Amino acid sequence: MSIVDLRSDTVTKPSPEMRRVLAEAEVGDDVLGDDPTVNRLQEHMAVFLGQPAALFVPSGSMANQVAIRAATEAGDEIIADITTHSYNYEAAGFAGVSGCSMRLLAGQRGVFTPADVAAAIRPPDHHFPRSRLVIIENTNNGGGGTTWPLENVADVCALARQHKLHVHLDGARLMNACVATGLKPTDYTRHVDSVSMCFSKGLGAPVGSIIAGSSAFVERARRFRKMLGGGMRQAGILAAAALYAVEHNVERLAEDHANARRLATAVAELPGIRLNPAEVETNIIIFEVDRRLGTAADFVQRLRERGVWVLPTEPQRVRAVTHLDVSREQIESAIGVFRDLCT
């Protein structure tokens, strides 16, 4: 049986060309600063993201948690949307690693406003935690791959700057946002204090993320990367794959977005499915399943038995994610399976 794996854009496998680059990478000891390929990746990504310095880390979760730890002290409070990845899907690292609390906002599919932030900032009183960090996630995973309007980013950052708050951009899927909007990464990143970006999602590398920010911030982040066990040795083999991903797999994200829109448009027409195709901006589709079709877990299992793999995210909610290892033909095949189950 042919499998159409739409569980996540993290399931992609390195292409033969990427494997060749990975195998031939020049390496050294990165903990000692001697890996030339890691150094080249960090230098390239600092320029790419418009920041003075950058640091290669093993995963997106570590990137966010190291950035949080570098921007805060124990007892500080983080302002973020209720859908934010670092709140929901990183094992409460903000509390366990950094000793911080979260003040959650109810934005629109993950996008909030300066007024939302202003209302969440704690007054300067020793009874309260210190508001210290604002997290913007672009695209927003939990909101269904939502792109942040640039003016929202600029306005939120301006408000944060007035209150001396650090702004971290969780840009795990930043390149999806850029391809969808036609904006450059630096259009977003020039407003923030730090940014993370993932190579192992839609860009197709097997491992790795980047953190970028000021030289002082990145040097502090380097210490916490080591503390959390993220210091790797001959990591150039991974950095080479990340460089290849950035150089070759960005523009093709538009194909993933087109496939997501095709799938969403077709599935939205089926009875028992609640989905607004207009909200599918990038490569993530989130839809609700009517109870007559069972729970999300039940529906997902029936899809899986027919070769379409997706994930339940709530009792009646399902997520599907397109990526470079899913072709247009496979999307059409998946649509056929959905139709068989719903009609």
Assign residue 239 the CATH number of its domain.
Answer: 3.40.640.10
Helix (H) or strand (E) holding 93: helix 93-96
Judge whether 1 lies within some domain. no
Residues 185 and 277 occupy one common structural domain: no
Judge whether 4 lies within some domain. no
Residues 284 and 233 occupy one common structural domain: no
**Token pair for residue 256?**
């993933």
- Number of helices and strands in the chain (H, E): 14, 13
Residues 192 and 300 occupy one common structural domain: no
Question: What letter does residue 315 receive in the DSSP assignment?
Answer: T
Residues 119 and 38 occupy one common structural domain: yes
CA 67 to chain centre: 14
329 band by pLDDT with thresholds 50, 70 and 90: very high
Express each pLDDT in 46-65 by its tens digit.
999 999 999 999 999 999 99
Q: What is the CATH number of the domain that holds 278?
A: 3.90.1150.10
Residues 80 and 136 occupy one common structural domain: yes
Task: Write down which residue in 214, 247, 280 finishes a domain.
Answer: 247
Strands (E), 180-237: 194-198, 209-213
Q: Is the dihedral of CA 26, 28, 30, 35 positive or negative?
A: negative
Gap between the Cα atoms of 179 and 207, Å rounded: 22
Judge whether 11 lies within some domain. no
Residues 273 and 319 occupy one common structural domain: yes
- Residue listed under structure tokens 């070759």: 248
Judge whether 7 lies within some domain. no
Residues 89 and 230 occupy one common structural domain: yes
Structural domain boundaries enclosing 172: 16-247
Residues 45 and 146 occupy one common structural domain: yes
Task: Write down which residue in 231, 247, 263 finishes a domain.
Answer: 247
Residue 283 reports pLDDT greater than 90: yes
Residues 280 and 218 occupy one common structural domain: no
- Please tell me the predicted confidence (pLDDT) of residue 231: 95
**Coil vs helix vs strand at 59:** coil
Using H for helix, E for strand and C for coil, what is the string for 119-175?
A: HHCCCCCCCCCEEEEEEEECCECCCCCECCCHHHHHHHHHHHHHCCCEEEEEECCHH
Express each pLDDT in 287-328 by its tens digit.
999 999 999 999 999 999 999 999 999 999 999 999 999 999
Judge whether 105 lies within some domain. yes
- Domain count across the chain: 2
Residues 243 and 296 occupy one common structural domain: no
Express each pLDDT in 178-199 by its tens digit.
999 999 999 999 999 999 999 9
Residues 139 and 87 occupy one common structural domain: yes
Residues 295 and 192 occupy one common structural domain: no
- Show Cβ contacts of residue 14 under 8 Å, excluding neighbours closer than 6 positions: 22, 204, 205, 206, 241
- Show Cβ contacts of residue 326 under 8 Å, excluding neighbours closer than 6 positions: 4, 5, 6, 256, 259
208: left (phi over 0), alpha (psi -120 to 50) or beta: left
Q: Is the dihedral of CA 259, 264, 270, 272 positive or negative?
A: positive
| Single-letter amino acid code for the residue at 31 | V
343 band by pLDDT with thresholds 50, 70 and 90: confident
Beta-strand pair 194-198/209-213: antiparallel
- Please tell me the predicted confidence (pLDDT) of residue 7: 98
Judge whether 8 lies within some domain. no
Task: Write down which residue in 212, 227, 247 finishes a domain.
Answer: 247
Judge whether 292 lies within some domain. yes
Judge whether 10 lies within some domain. no
**Token pair for residue 108?**
């629109």
